[in-house]
Amino acid sequence: MPLFDIYISPDEPVYVISVVSKLVDLPAWTLRQLDKVGIVRPKRIGKKSRLYSLKDVKKLEYIHYLMEDKHVNIHGIRIILEREIGE
């Protein structure tokens, strides 16, 4: 039994790219491409470090599904997300 519970807001950027890559089973270079084209925008710490929130991770799980199961490319993902959730 834990001694205390910690609440982290789903919007709080706390996950580094290497952890997110393992969580969503996407290579870091794909995550960088998704950032470059504006599909997922992690918070920047300094010039290089990216921190992802739980909301980002959930979105990336959906993106992984689209890429792996439905064979949608990055530009197709952008269109789908714009239509589905208005991004």
Q: What is the spatial distance between Cα 45 and Cα 71, in angstroms, rounded to a whole number? A: 32
| Strand ranges across the sheet with 15-16 | 15-16, 49-52, 43-45
Amino acid at 36: K
pLDDT in tens, 49-77: 999 999 999 999 999 999 999 999 999 99
Token digits of residue 58: 């959930």
User: Crossing angle, helix 54-68 and helix 17-24, to 10 degrees?
Assistant: 50
Token digits of residue 33: 């491409």
pLDDT in tens, 14-34: 999 999 999 999 999 999 999
Which domains does the chain possess? 15-85 (1.10.1660.10)
